[in-house]
Amino acid sequence: MNALRIVAVVAAVAGVGMPACGQSFFTREGDVLRDSQGQSDPHAALRAVSLSFVQPPMPREFAIHDLVTIIIDETSRSESQQKLETEKDYEIKAALKQFPSLRHLIEGQFENGDTQRSMRLDLSGGHEFNSEGNARRSDRFIARITAEVIDVKPNGTLALEARKQIVKDREVQTIVLSGTCRREDVTTNNTITSSQLAALTVIQSTDGDISRAAKKGLIPRVFESIFNF
């Protein structure tokens, strides 16, 4: 009797296991699930069985002339050291024992001079130069600027360009920026950091009375060019 019960339990388990095996993802190929627009939807299977599934936001579509805010935070540091030592010595010696008579030479005659004294030339010199220099520089540029989408590549990459000009007390500050980024890197707040831009170019210039007063005049620059060595 016990043997019959065991056989019945095994048959029942086998009968339940066969449909489960037929529904397993490991024993059959799953169909490619698509959304309402016919695009492949990799989250469809998880969304169908999960009660806490959160649909990730779809990448935003951009068009030319759309605006994106760029947060600029660039830091650069450089350090250089140079040392130069040069030394030069030279010596020249010459002696002139005889020289034709200038009076006879003018008359077309070649005769020795009236004096037999020899003229000597002795020249010596030396040169030594030592130079040593150290330079350290640290810069940081922080700003926010809104850029315009000037091109959308076939793969979705965005080409951005921005220009900002601030005029205050006859001082004109100009910032020009350009670069490319992925559309996925643009946040929901429509911002992106400068470190996420490829081929980044940032140019900042200032023109006005203060900047011109800080520059050296023509005469100091001429003297520095002449006595630079």
Measure the N-to-C terminal CA separation of the chain; round to a whole number of Å.
115
Query: Where would I find the beta strands (DSSP E) of 38-99?
Result: 67-96
Give counts: helices (H), strands (E), the chain: 5, 6
Contacts of 208 (CB under 8 A, 6+ apart): 169, 170, 171, 172
Cβ(33)–Cβ(41) below 8 Å: yes
The pLDDT of residue 163 is: 94
By residue count, the chain amounts to: 229
Q: Where are the domains of the chain?
A: 2-49, 67-78+139-219, 80-134
Split the chain (229 residues) into runs of 10 and give each run's mean pLDDT: 57 50 50 61 73 75 94 84 79 70 66 58 72 81 92 93 89 92 91 94 84 70 66
Joined tokens for residue 93: 């010696």
Joined tokens for residue 177: 């920026």
Cβ(173)–Cβ(165) below 8 Å: yes
DSSP H helices in the chain: 2-22, 44-49, 102-106, 209-213, 218-226
3-class SS at 183? helix
The pLDDT of residue 19 is: 46
Name beta bridge partners: 96: 119
3-class SS at 184? helix
Cβ(149)–Cβ(70) below 8 Å: no
